[in-house]
Amino acid sequence: MVARYKKQGNWNFFLKTFGDVVGEDGVIRRKDELLTYECDGLSSYRQRPELVLLPRTTEEVAEILRLCDLYQIPWVARGAGTGLSGGALPVENGILIVTARMNKIINIDLENQQIVVQPGIINNWVTQAVSGAGFYYAPDPSSQIICSIGGNVAENSGGVHCLKYGVTTNHVLGLKLVIPDGKILDVGGSVPEMPGYDLTGLFVGSEGTLGIATEITLRILKKPESVCVILADFTSMEAAATTVADIIGAGIIPAGMEIMDNLSINAVEDVVALGCYPRDAAAILLVEIDGLEVEVKTSKHRVNELCKKNGARNITTANDAETRMKLWKGRKAAFAAAGKVSPDYFVQDGVIPRTKLSSVLKEIEELSQKYGYRIANVFHAGDGNLHPLILYDNSVPGAFETVEEIGGEILKLCVKVGGSISGEHGIGADKKCYMPDMFTETDLETMRFVNEVFNPLRLANPGKIFPTPRMCGEAANRQSGERFRIIERF
């Protein structure tokens, strides 16, 4: 451990060793500078890393991991640090490997619709790099102008357009990986569906616990010919949710389909003052349709009919980019708005089957009343991916604990109806104690064994994903031992 090396007086040697790998300007060690890296987007967990390293190449990453393996130093990889589940939370006596300088585009192959990038590149840059030629990169987390592709791969990020186009894993064709012993692996490739085990799929969403992706081959898509956004408002949440089910039921797959409830609408109107979301609506529904012009025209008409059928009061349609942006602006500002109408907010991320939307939202309303905290609902309705925002005041003693409890209740509700404890923010440090609500001990044990294939010394992002007794009051992390005895025979 770093701490041990410090005690032994080897600290300077140790710094020099890493400095030789990444260059002196690639090492951050001053306490005030390390402050930036104490947490990611989930600020309720904090841990100062001993050291931050900024490699530039696959070889540098491999050399760092070889040294960590040799000295048994735990490490955490970090992209832009925008994650919301504490996946990039540093580990005590560990180092943080930041990919910010690995921000190159390695290759663009428009003919085969793919791009190879380093992990530190910003999500939005990918689209910018190919936009001129008429292409774009589909997964669009709301942090897309600041989050990194490496982080997106780690967390299998989603976004508004994932209803039609799928999440990150559907757009990663191949990866160059450095695994914790410093070996370099090439998984997947430039053609889809390679033979052998799908290690690409295994790695995407593994939250930095299996290694570091140093080159990422992404699929890029042709920009649609036509795009339109429809805004409809309803006097009941149920009507909005039924409209979502009806649209999907009619065989239409919109690019995105989002709902905001009355509390969110008013928060947004208070803060952004758009004037286009009616303050007295119980819910608004935003539907984006893209594709060929004729297709968009027909789908638009159908969506309109379905909104009317379910009692929509007003329906606005935006065809040009400027008006579309205006309709989306409120949705995109929703989280920030919640932060302005309340001293603090806690965003939860859970998934439910689309057909359970109405009933689960009612139960969330009941939780809100039971605990006496306002909960705003803004969500990817088409995917059943809820984002309840629990509004609270952190200066009130015990408030945060209560909010965490409400958040937990919401997740348990998601699991109860056949959903999931995470839609797109990952498990990280934040949700690992809910993993046993979703998975049996056999399921989790299998995942742990898979982890140990890559990470036998448990140096890669320890303390994430898997529940530990410390966090959850359960002895879930005990070793069965049995399987390892069997492995020893070979």
Q: Which of residues 377-396 bind a second copy (CB under 8 A)?
A: 383-384
472 counts as binding a second copy under rule CB under 8 A: no
Specify the 3-state DSSP secondary structure of 420.
strand
Query: If we measure between CA atoms, which residue out of 14, 11, 98 comes closest to residue 53?
Result: 98
Spell out where 292-419 has E strands.
315-318, 344-347, 350-351, 375-380, 385-386, 388-392
Residue count at the site for a second copy (CB under 8 A)? 91
- Nearest CB to a second copy, comparing residues 119 and 419: 419
Which string of DSSP letters, residue by residue, matches 260-312? EEHHHHHHHHHHH--S-S-TT-SEEEEEEEEESHHHHHHHHHHHHHHHHHTT-
Candidate residues 16, 33, 189, 396; the one interacting with a second copy per rule CB under 8 A:
189
Q: Which of residues 205-234 bind a second copy (CB under 8 A)?
A: 205-206, 222-225
- Pick the piece of the chain touching a second copy (CB under 8 A) from 4-12, 33-41, 287-295, 468-476: 287-295
319 counts as binding a second copy under rule CB under 8 A: no
Q: Which of residues 254-283 bind a second copy (CB under 8 A)?
A: none
Give the span between the Cα atoms of 296 and 254, in whole angstroms: 9
420 counts as binding a second copy under rule CB under 8 A: yes
Candidate residues 3, 70, 294, 396; the one interacting with a second copy per rule CB under 8 A:
294
Candidate residues 34, 105, 108, 185; the one interacting with a second copy per rule CB under 8 A:
185
- Nearest CB to a second copy, comparing residues 151 and 291: 291
Determine phi and psi for 456, rounding to 5 degrees.
Answer: -65, -30
Q: Which two tokens stand for residue 123?
A: 């999500």
**Smallest gap, in angstroms, from Cβ of residue 384 to a second copy?**
6
- For the stretch 300-310, what's the b/e string if a residue is b when 16 or more beta carbons lie within 10 angstroms of its beta carbon? beebbebbeeb
Give the span between the Cα atoms of 415 and 350, in whole angstroms: 9
- Nearest CB to a second copy, comparing residues 19 and 224: 224
Q: Which of residues 39-68 bind a second copy (CB under 8 A)?
A: none
Give the span between the Cα atoms of 77 and 170, in whole angstroms: 22
Q: Which of residues 78-117 bind a second copy (CB under 8 A)?
A: 111-113
- Pick the piece of the chain touching a second copy (CB under 8 A) from 33-41, 119-127, 181-189, 275-283: 181-189
- Nearest CB to a second copy, comparing residues 391 and 414: 414
Query: Please, what is the end-to-end C-alpha distance for the chain in angstroms?
Result: 30
- Nearest CB to a second copy, comparing residues 41 and 330: 41
Candidate residues 269, 295, 404, 409; the one interacting with a second copy per rule CB under 8 A:
295
Q: Which of residues 110-149 bind a second copy (CB under 8 A)?
A: 111-113, 134
Give the span between the Cα atoms of 284 and 258, in whole angstroms: 8
- Nearest CB to a second copy, comparing residues 227 and 444: 444
- Nearest CB to a second copy, comparing residues 456 and 469: 456
Q: Which two tokens stand for residue 486?
A: 């069997």
Placement of tokens 């910003």 in the chain: 122
Q: Which two tokens stand for residue 297?
A: 């025209």
465 counts as binding a second copy under rule CB under 8 A: yes
- Nearest CB to a second copy, comparing residues 142 and 206: 206
Candidate residues 132, 251, 372, 397; the one interacting with a second copy per rule CB under 8 A:
251
Question: Which residues contact residue 235 at a Cβ distance below 8 angstroms, ignoring those fewer than 6 apart?
Answer: 281, 282, 311, 313
440 counts as binding a second copy under rule CB under 8 A: yes
- Pick the piece of the chain touching a second copy (CB under 8 A) from 232-240, 324-332, 412-420, 470-478: 412-420
Which string of DSSP letters, residue by residue, matches 54-97? ---SHHHHHHHHHHHHHHT--EEEESSS--SS-TT---TT-EEE
**Smallest gap, in angstroms, from Cβ of residue 278 to a second copy?**
29
- Nearest CB to a second copy, comparing residues 52 and 427: 427
Residue 377 in contact with residue 389, Cβ under 8 Å?
yes
**Smallest gap, in angstroms, from Cβ of residue 429 to a second copy?**
13
77 counts as binding a second copy under rule CB under 8 A: no
Residue 230 in contact with residue 286, Cβ under 8 Å?
yes
Q: Which of residues 320-359 bind a second copy (CB under 8 A)?
A: 351-355
Specify the 3-state DSSP secondary structure of 490.
coil
Candidate residues 193, 273, 321, 322; the one interacting with a second copy per rule CB under 8 A:
193
Query: If we measure between CA atoms, which residue out of 345, 351, 370 comes closest to residue 413?
Result: 351
**Smallest gap, in angstroms, from Cβ of residue 121 to a second copy?**
22
Determine phi and psi for 143, rounding to 5 degrees.
Answer: -90, 20
**Smallest gap, in angstroms, from Cβ of residue 427 to a second copy?**
5
475 counts as binding a second copy under rule CB under 8 A: no
299 counts as binding a second copy under rule CB under 8 A: yes
- Nearest CB to a second copy, comparing residues 395 and 479: 479
201 counts as binding a second copy under rule CB under 8 A: yes
- Nearest CB to a second copy, comparing residues 218 and 263: 218
Residue 269 in contact with residue 275, Cβ under 8 Å?
yes
469 counts as binding a second copy under rule CB under 8 A: no
| DSSP label at residue 122 | B
191 counts as binding a second copy under rule CB under 8 A: yes
